[in-house]
Amino acid sequence: MRQILWGLFKKIVIADNCAFIVNDVYYNYTTYSGSALFVGAIFFAFQIYGDFSGYSDIAIGTSRLFGFNLMKNFAFPYFSRDIAEFWRRWHISLSTWFRDYLYIPLGGSRGGNWMRIRNTFAIFLVSGFWHGANWTYLFWGFLNALYFLPLLLGGANRNNLDTVAKGKLLPSIKEVFQMGMTFLLTVFAWIFFRASSITEAITYIENIFTASFFTLPTNASKLMVAQFVILFIFVLIEWIQRDKEHALEIEKSISQPFLLRWTFYTLIIFTMVAFYGIPQEFIYFQF
Amino acid sequence: MKGFLYKIVLFSIFALLLLETIAYAYRMSGLFEHFIPGAEVYLSIRKSKQKTNSNVVLIGDSVGQQMFSNKQYSDKPYSLACNQAVSFAGYYFLLNNFVKAGNEVDSVLLFCSPFSFDNNLNQIFTYHYFLKPFGRSPYKSDFTNTVNTQIAKLPYHQIASSNCIAISKWAPLPDQLDTVDFSFMSPVASEYLTKIKRLSLAHNFKFIMVPAPTKNSNKKEIANFDKKEYLGQNYETEIISYFDRIRYIDDKNFSDKIHLINPDLHVGYYKETYSLK
């Protein structure tokens, strides 16, 4: 039930509210300031995460109610220190499928660097194509494969297998930098994923890197401020729970009595009541 | 299984009580007003309860709001205009608040489009714009039978005053559109125009109905409005004068049936005509 609740929260508070701003930004990307476009790109990263991982959580939680255990599909991917870790934590079921039915049959990592690079590009291009017959998805896949390249060449693609800052409250400065960079790289790639054409994505990116990047977003509103506050709290909760199955997996203990846990769940419900966004269809319904 | 169900029931009761308490605090803070449809209505309600130095107050619909924004704190006029969806009942409640706040009113301008009279609290936005803000004390006691009847037709009207519903963006859609048997003046509009007129007599202020600029192409439709719907009412003089003074202008000035593309162009005329300078 808690996993369903968290999934609903991610969908209707995080994804749907971000969608409202993202749709507006992408609709007006030729007129909005660089800062507004940057915020739009960040919000899309959260929209797609909230939408798809929320959907997965609802499905996993519902299945568990009926006695079925489905595999975990997201493992706090935005806390990844490199792109390889990100792909081990994002859409795990699809990544696993590609690994088992494409990467390994193609030879996997057995044939040296060249084969690993070829196979990595193959699965990312197919993954892009899997999302739709559009150059934007293909380029998004290509971009992700490109991000992988330095890790493959340096043999560093399996450096970060553990949870970041395991057992610690805060990450080190190095980890913050790594997570920030990985997040920005994914945000950059998502621009191609969200845009309706490559030209639109390139214009969008060009318009970010203008002098208006250093001004207040053209579309700044109370809703945007509220959404930033909610996103901050959301990231904080996910950070604290990052080594759990899902963010609402709170153990029963003396330090966390049921009244405290129930109050926390009720606060989540309250946020859903007060800040739910305009209902949007799940993004992944189209794929 | 039994234990699970027991826990669910217990948690539901706990959550409902706590939710309503948190929602109450949130509603009292006024923060919710920025995130739900009809923010302009809550602003007008807050403004209507303030003691001001202004003695010219303007109530009315969104065209009135376009020309005399309620976001501006001007004395002449002190604008409480918000949206036609609040209906004439809403205009009356705002004006009544303003009078009750101890303001000395000289004149009240009711600025609206000729198409705003037909709101019989039967619109898609009635739940959001009327029931949520006004469906509670102290307004509820001033509901006419017609208002009560119309409200009773709205699905889930019973829970509209709950704090959780009041602070949320949620509102049900009407099951079916209410059928009407009037040409332009709804019973709700007529009853509350009567109340506004009575208020003006009781507090000795001028009550002026101001027509919004109207499309040339709507002239015929307006000419066909059934006059019987207002003849003999206590506001008859005001409404006859209202229709006499309608300014019909080119359709190109409008973004839809009633809203102006550039409202500022027309403000000067109203300031001049109604001595609002």
Domain count within chain A: 1
Phi-psi region of B275 (alpha: psi -120 to 50; beta: other; left: phi over 0): left
CA–CA separation, B163 and B168 (whole Å): 9
Q: A225 in a domain, yes or no?
A: yes
Quick check: A237 and A247 in contact, CB under 8 A? Answer: yes
Same domain, yes or no: B1 and B47: no
Q: A153 in a domain, yes or no?
A: no
Task: Decide which of A232 and B170 is more confident.
Answer: A232
CA–CA separation, A84 and A172 (whole Å): 20
The reply to whether B9 touches chain A by the CB within 8 Å rule is no
What pLDDT, on a 0 to 100 scale, did the predictor assign at position B74? 73
Quick check: A178 and A37 in contact, CB under 8 A? Answer: no
The reply to whether B34 touches chain A by the CB within 8 Å rule is yes
What is the residue-wise DSSP string for A11-40?
IIIIIHHHHHHHHHHHHTTTTS-HHHHHHH
Of A10, A91, A131, A246, which is the active-site residue? A131
Nearest to A269 among B19, B32, B169 (CB): B19
- Identify the closest residue of chain A to B32 by CA–CA distance: A274
What pLDDT, on a 0 to 100 scale, did the predictor assign at position A274? 84
Nearest to A262 among B11, B168, B170 (CB): B11
> Using DSSP, how many helices (H) and how many strands (E) does chain B show?
12, 6
- Is A274 within 8 Å of B23 when comparing Cβ atoms? yes
Same domain, yes or no: B49 and B1: no
- Is A222 within 8 Å of B14 when comparing Cβ atoms? no
Q: How far is B18 from chain A (nearest CA, A)?
A: 7
The reply to whether A274 touches chain B by the CB within 8 Å rule is yes
Average pLDDT, chain B: 89
Same domain, yes or no: B166 and B195: yes
Summarize pLDDT for B180-230 with one digit per residue, the tens.
Answer: 778 888 999 999 999 999 999 999 999 999 999 999 999 999 988 888 888
Mean pLDDT of A41-58: 94
Q: A162 in a domain, yes or no?
A: no
What pLDDT, on a 0 to 100 scale, did the predictor assign at position A264? 87
Q: Spell out which residues of chain B touch residue A276, defining contact as CB-CB under 8 Å.
A: 168-170
Task: Decide which of B185 and A256 is more confident.
Answer: B185
What pLDDT, on a 0 to 100 scale, did the predictor assign at position B76? 76
Q: Which of A104, A120, A197, A195 is nearest to A152 (CA)?
A: A120
Same domain, yes or no: B95 and B178: yes
Average pLDDT, chain A: 88
- Please give the structure tokens belonging to residue A222: 């109370």
Chain centre distance of CA A43: 10
Summarize pLDDT for B220-267 with one digit per residue, the tens.
Answer: 999 888 888 888 889 999 999 999 999 999 999 989 888 989 988 888
Q: How many CB pairs below 8 Å do chains A and B form together?
A: 42
The reply to whether B6 touches chain A by the CB within 8 Å rule is no
What pLDDT, on a 0 to 100 scale, did the predictor assign at position A218? 82
Q: A65 in a domain, yes or no?
A: yes
Domain count within chain B: 2
Q: Which of B93, B112, B92 is nearest to B185 (CA)?
A: B112
Same domain, yes or no: B172 and B263: yes
Q: Which residues contact B15 (CB under 8 A, 6 or more apart)?
A: A262, A265, A266, A269
Same domain, yes or no: B28 and B147: no
Same domain, yes or no: B20 and B121: no
- Is A274 within 8 Å of B170 when comparing Cβ atoms? no
Summarize pLDDT for A164-197 with one digit per residue, the tens.
Answer: 888 888 999 999 999 999 999 999 999 999 999 9
What pLDDT, on a 0 to 100 scale, did the predictor assign at position A212? 87
Q: What are the backbone angles phi and psi of residue B274, rounded to the nearest 5°?
A: -110, 20
What pLDDT, on a 0 to 100 scale, did the predictor assign at position B277? 62
What pLDDT, on a 0 to 100 scale, did the predictor assign at position A284? 66
The reply to whether B162 touches chain A by the CB within 8 Å rule is no
Task: Decide which of A281 and A163 is more confident.
Answer: A163
Burial A45-54 (b: 16+ CB within 10 A, else e): bbbbbbbbbb
Mean pLDDT of A256-261: 81
Q: Spell out which residues of chain B touch residue A266, defining contact as CB-CB under 8 Å.
A: 14-15, 18-19, 22
Tell me, what CATH number does B221's domain have? 3.40.50
The reply to whether B22 touches chain A by the CB within 8 Å rule is yes
Same domain, yes or no: B17 and B103: no
The reply to whether B43 touches chain A by the CB within 8 Å rule is no
Q: Which residues contact A183 (CB under 8 A, 6 or more apart)?
A: A45, A78
Summarize pLDDT for B140-165 with one digit per residue, the tens.
Answer: 999 999 999 999 988 898 998 899 99
Residue B145 buriedness (CB in 10 A; 0-12 / 13-18 / 19+): exposed
- Please give the structure tokens belonging to residue A60: 């996993």
Mean pLDDT of B6-19: 90
Same domain, yes or no: B155 and B195: yes
Q: How far is B20 from chain A (nearest CA, A)?
A: 9
Report the half-sphere exposure of A121 (CA within 13 A, side-chain side).
10
Q: Spell out which residues of chain A touch residue B164, defining contact as CB-CB under 8 Å.
A: 273
Quick check: A134 and A193 in contact, CB under 8 A? Answer: no
Q: Spell out which residues of chain A touch residue B18, defining contact as CB-CB under 8 Å.
A: 263, 266
User: Is residue A246 flagged as an active site residue?
Assistant: no
Same domain, yes or no: B22 and B45: no
CA–CA separation, B90 and B128 (whole Å): 12
Q: Which domain holds residue A272?
A: 2-79+198-286
Rg (CA), chain B: 20
pLDDT at A280 > cutoff 80: no
Summarize pLDDT for B103-141 with one digit per residue, the tens.
Answer: 989 999 999 999 999 999 988 889 999 999 999 889 999
Query: What percent helix, strand, coil does chain A show, rounded to 5?
Result: 70, 0, 30
What pLDDT, on a 0 to 100 scale, did the predictor assign at position A252? 72
Q: Which domain holds residue B262?
A: 36-273
The reply to whether A183 touches chain B by the CB within 8 Å rule is no
The reply to whether B98 touches chain A by the CB within 8 Å rule is no
What pLDDT, on a 0 to 100 scale, did the predictor assign at position A244? 86
Residue A95 buriedness (CB in 10 A; 0-12 / 13-18 / 19+): middle
DSSP β-bridge partners for residue B206: B107
- Is B14 within 8 Å of A262 when comparing Cβ atoms? yes
Q: Spell out which residues of chain A touch residue B19, defining contact as CB-CB under 8 Å.
A: 266, 269-270, 273
Quick check: B276 and B77 in contact, CB under 8 A? Answer: yes
What pLDDT, on a 0 to 100 scale, did the predictor assign at position A49? 95
Q: pTM here? A: 0.82
A245 falls in which pLDDT band (50, 70, 90)? confident
Summarize pLDDT for A126-147 with one digit per residue, the tens.
Answer: 888 888 878 999 999 999 999 9
What pLDDT, on a 0 to 100 scale, did the predictor assign at position A254? 65
- Is A269 within 8 Å of B8 when comparing Cβ atoms? no
Q: A134 in a domain, yes or no?
A: no
- Kindly state the DSSP code that residue B153 receives in the 8-state scheme: T
Same domain, yes or no: B114 and B163: yes
Q: What are the backbone angles phi and psi of residue B24, rounded to the nearest 5°?
A: -65, -50
Residue A148 buriedness (CB in 10 A; 0-12 / 13-18 / 19+): buried
Same domain, yes or no: B138 and B11: no
Q: A145 in a domain, yes or no?
A: no
- The full length of chain B comes to 277
> What contacts 24+ positions apart, CB below 8 Å, involve A85-93?
A85/A160, A85/A161, A85/A182, A86/A182, A86/A186, A87/A144, A87/A148, A88/A161, A91/A52
